[in-house]
Structure 1
């Protein structure tokens, strides 16, 4: 999966949020525009090509210089679905927010 392809899907307006993700984002005070910003300016830090039913990836974006946001996106190449979005926990991620402290996925 390439970040450029996901950005293109956003430009085509074929990125979707499930009701579950909408509720979780409300709980976490994450707006759809925050998710879009993370995808449009961020980078893929983990790739999950074997996810079922659709390959997915973890994106790291920043809402401001010191506010990181992780977004999991699944895509079949024709459209994309936001799986989840969250503010990474500093206890679970290295200071760059790209590497898990325990080294596992």
Structure 2
């Protein structure tokens, strides 16, 4: 996933889930740069997305992220 520094946009749903689950932006960025893509959703609309699994403080974190040419759009985090 790591392709250099990209703009990250958080959907309102992702922000709400991060708050509820006490997942920091730093944890999200770490998972995006070091995590493993465990599922791809190439037909998602409006953008193809991926499910990424990574770890932060010995805790598994899953991120659904849509990748555009300009940014990574965080759909949800759990």
- 1:55, CA displacement in angstroms? 0.3
Q: Does 1:15 align with 2:13?
A: no
Runs of at least 4 residues off by over 3 Å: none
Q: Does 1:4 align with 2:2?
A: yes
RCO (CA 8 Å, sep 6+): is it higher in 1 or 2? 2
Q: Which runs of 5+ in 1 are unaligned?
A: 87-105
- 1:53, CA displacement in angstroms? 0.5
Supply the distance in 1 between the matched residues of 2:32 and 2:12 (Cα, whole angstroms).
Answer: 19
- What RMSD over aligned residues (CA atoms) do the two structures have, in Å? 1.3
Match among 63, 73, 76 for residue 81 of structure 1: 73
- 1:41, CA displacement in angstroms? 1.1
Task: Please name the residue that 2:17 is paired with.
Answer: 24
- 1:18, CA displacement in angstroms? 1.9
Supply the distance in 2 between the matched residues of 1:49 and 1:77 (Cα, whole angstroms).
Answer: 15
Supply the distance in 1 between the matched residues of 2:77 and 2:13 (Cα, whole angstroms).
Answer: 11
Q: Which protein has the larger Cα radius of gyration, Structure 1 or Structure 2?
A: 1
Q: Deviations over 1:19-56 (max 9, x none)?
A: 22111110111111111111111111101111000000
Which is strand-richer, 1 or 2?
A: 2
Aligned pair count reads 78
TM-score where L is the length of structure 1: 0.68
